[in-house]
Amino acid sequence: MIRIPFKYCLSVLLTQEDLSIYIHTLRYSLVIYLNYKLIITISALTMFVLVLSGCITNSTQKETLTIGITKNPGSALVNVAEDQNMFTNNGFNVELKEFTAGKFALQAFLAGDLDMAIVADFPPVLATMQGHEFYVLTQIADTISDSSVIVIDENYTNPKDYFKVKKRKITVSLGGTPEVHFYKFLQYYNIDINDVEIINQKPEDMGVALANGTIDGMDTFEPYIYLANKMIPEKLTVYNIPYEVYSPKYVLVANKVWVDNNPKDVKKFLLTLIESENFIKNHVEDSQKIVSNITKFPLEQTKSIWNKYVFKVELSSQLSKIMTDEAKWAIETGKVQTTTIPDFNKILRSDLVTNARQEN
């Protein structure tokens, strides 16, 4: 809730009729004072106290921040902060909304349904190139082999041999990091894109499509890699590319107006995430249980993929270069209409992260 200065409280909290009654009461009180030398009537004093209490109540209520999170450990910093009451203790009222993929959280954010959203690095690139304005407030997780290409096992160790046999149907989430990852995968293994039929699909639907044979493989991220292996045990081959070639970074995008107008709250919010980061470092098992409870995935699953993530509040120097390269690729492949590459340093608020780190 927006806080209202005290001088405006009367006009906001009282209707025109209330004001008329209040003025009449004050006039009546003045007559009594003059005639009977009373300081103030009980009725006027009571009304004043009620108005004052209304102003105090409104000024201390917390504004709710709605954050879109994903169903994997990439959202751990926010999950732990909420579970351990870190947001509440630092003056924030936070509501979490869960999405199956970061790009869907970003879509809700751009539609004005969220104040912040957790998403991997590529969807914000496309959104910026489409003219949307927001800030990347911080990274909240780096990843190691978060994305993989998964195919039905045909005893091909080398992915190039696998794709030579026939034209393969591979499903990705277009506009998400799996699409970027798959193109990097093809490039790394020198596989002709014409040897592949790329199909768009939601991550949560990919495993079923792979199990029933409507696709040959999928490029996706956790937890859907784990779930596919559970759904089709001992029948899958997982192909990866080196971390240095491409591995998504999870970021927190935030409303630009809120960030610009609330520098103290922004700093306090980042300090809350740093507090969560320290908790995760010192309480790994507890943090895994928290994430497991929030995502509703088995603890065994959360533990098995936990080490694929590095939880840290930062904006690495690599991120701007990564996003610039992704923008070039988006232009080359016709994913955007513009041919202008944005200056991503303008939306990456490393200055705010640095200030928060210095105070911590």
Query: How, if at all, do strands 168-172 and 135-143 pair?
Result: unpaired
d(CA 3, CA 57): 10
Instruction: Decide: pTM greater than 0.75.
Output: yes
In a domain, 280, yes or no: yes
1 part of a folded domain: no
Are residues 351 and 252 part of one domain?
A: yes
Do 125 and 261 fall into the same domain?
yes
Q: Is residue 209 part of a domain?
A: yes
Question: CA 18, CA 299: separation in Å to the nearest integer?
Answer: 58
CATH number, domain at 171? Answer: 3.40.190.10
Calpha distance 327→116 (Å, rounded)? 22
Does 124 map to a domain?
yes
Say if CB 184 and CB 176 are below 8 A apart.
no
CA nearest to 114, candidates 97, 139, 102, 133 = 97
The one-letter code for the residue type at 219 is D
Domain end residue (candidates: 60, 76, 93) = 60
* Residue 323 domain flag: yes
Residue 221, domain member (yes or no): yes
Give 164's contacts (C-beta < 8 A, 6+ positions apart). 195
Same domain (yes/no): 273, 316: yes
Looking from the CA of 48 toward its CB, the CA atoms found within 13 Å total 10
Cα distance between residue 77 and residue 75, in whole Å: 6
pLDDT values of the chain reduced to their tens digit, one per residue, 360 residues: 333 333 333 333 333 344 344 344 434 443 334 344 433 343 443 444 333 444 333 334 567 899 999 989 999 999 999 999 999 999 999 999 999 999 999 999 999 999 999 999 999 999 999 999 999 999 999 998 778 999 999 999 999 999 999 999 999 999 999 999 999 999 999 999 999 999 999 999 999 999 999 999 999 998 898 889 888 877 899 999 998 899 899 999 999 999 999 999 999 999 999 999 999 999 999 999 999 999 988 999 999 999 999 999 999 889 999 999 999 999 999 999 999 999 999 999 999 999 999 987
156 within some domain: yes
**Residue 284 is assigned to a structural domain of this protein:** yes
Does residue 24 sit in the same domain as residue 68? no
Residue type, 314: E
Run of H or E including 18: helix 16-36
* 210/259 same-domain check: no
Residues 83 and 163 grouped into a single domain: no
Backbone angles phi, psi at 147, to 5 degrees: -110, 145
Q: What is the DSSP string of 146-164?
A: -EEEEEE--S-SSHHHHHH
Residues 131 and 276 in one domain: yes
If 0-12 CB within 10 Å is exposed, 13-18 middle and 19+ buried, where does residue 146 land? buried
| Distance between CA atoms of residues 275 and 183, nearest Å | 37
Of 112, 336, 147, the residue nearest 226 (C-alpha): 147
- What CA–CA distance (Å, rounded) separates 182 from 330? 14
Residues 254, 139 share a domain = yes
- How many structural domains compose the chain? 3
Residue 166 DSSP one-character state: S
Residues 134 and 258 in one domain: yes
Residue-number span of the structural domain to which 41 is assigned: 6-60
Residues 204 and 343 in one domain: no
